[in-house]
Amino acid sequence: MADTNFDIIVVGGGPGGYVAAIRAAQLGMKTAVVEREHMGGICLNWGCIPTKALLRTSEVYGLIKHADSFGLSVKDVSYDAKKIVERSRKVANQLSNGVKGLMRKNKITVFDGTAKLAGTEGGQRKLAVAMNDKSSLSLTAKNVILATGARARQLPGLETDGKLVWSYREAMVPPEFPKSLLVVGSGAIGIEFASFFRTMGAEVTVCEVLDRILPVEDEEVSAFAKRAFEKQGMKILTSATASIVKKGANSVTAAITSAGKTQEITVDRVISAVGIVGNVENIGLEGTRVKVEKTHIVIDPWGFTGEPNVYAIGDVAGPPWLAHKAMHEGVVVVEKIAGVKGVHPLVTTNIPGCTYCQPQVASIGLTEAAAKANGRQVKVGKFPFIGNGKAIALGEPEGFIKTVFDAKTGELLGAHMIGAEVTELIQGYGVAKTLETTEAELMATVFPHPTLSEMMHESVLAAYGRTLHI
């Protein structure tokens, strides 16, 4: 029989959960993970990874359609939707199996089931586990980390049905690609699916309740993205709401209301991408000191919930809802539990955010508007892709990099990018912010030529009137 007593038990095997478990094992703790479905969680199985596989396909398809601009001749270009989805699933399965291997490597016990807090026993936390094989189990641990993740939000009048109105899950594994599509919500999830299906040939309409798409991004990035998407043939409707009017055998009619006017559109499918809610139900929070606000567990800077020896990380603990935030949070919480010296709480303004549409979007820290709202005097630099040799050689001259500095101290407050491969560039500014780098140190840094990264340097120079190549 497997051991049932541990130093630490992690409830949920997503990015935050499995990374927390690995770090705990590295620190010599006897560690277990309880996971109800797939190791790797939503990210590896139904989110970050399989969507990137789909978007890579659409990127290649888009390049092929513009092969003539590279001096290439390609005829009779087509695609096989089934094979595209199969490739995406294979990528997800490979990485999920890889996480299982990491659990074995680090001697972490994995229980396939659903766990809930069940009080204490002998001074330790107790968990009741309903195993997937219908058996039940009682586990105990000195500490418990809740990493139960989140799920798609359901809006009244826009409930997903798995056939005509999709969540991200159905959108990832369609039996065939729709010829027309309404995407409700223009955050990262909505825009990535809109970009994918538009590139693959669908007529796409995006409906956003706020006054601009990608609303968490800098206003200039949002405006540039809107123009780029409209140039690709997307229809963008902002300050708008949508509801389902009628479902046909293979189509949906939706009513979209904006500026007091309502129009009806009929599409093959609707994707609802209107945010997420934390998985806080049925995990035993009742009767504990754990507080839940807006479907998320309230934590202190160290992930502590207020209930003795119970911590929370990742999506269930609130924004930003990013896998890399969850991973880092897991490491911080475990090291704090273990008494590791020099542990620092997570600084959310040092967490990059990426959207893998075409063009890509990436950012870190404060937007220009947020910095000014915080009372900062700012210096802002901006450099366009058209001024970069590598961008022109790649055939990717559209986009820009924007940096925001504190005018008094030279602190890098934020960076905002749109264009080719910016999701790979943003971490340079992530390192800079973590090291509390100033404009002087960034200016003195040598960037390789020819690379897209040179634009990062030029944007810093531009903030101080020293740009060289524009």
Active site residues: 449
**Residue 314 CB-density burial (10 A; 0-12 exposed, 13-18 middle, 19+ buried):** buried
Task: Say if CB 181 and CB 157 are below 8 A apart.
Answer: no
The CA distances from residue 257 to 235, 239, 263, in Å, are: 15, 8, 6
- Distance separating alpha carbons of residues 361 and 225, to the nearest angstrom: 8
- Distance separating alpha carbons of residues 94 and 7, to the nearest angstrom: 30
Range list of β-strands (E), 64-103: none
Backbone phi, then psi, for 317, in 5-degree steps? -95, 10
Contacts of 222 (CB under 8 A, 6+ apart): 212, 213, 214, 215
What residue has token string 């968490």?
216
Give the closest residue to 55 by CA, choosing from 188, 160, 162, 187. 188
Give the closest residue to 315 by CA, choosing from 305, 325, 304. 325
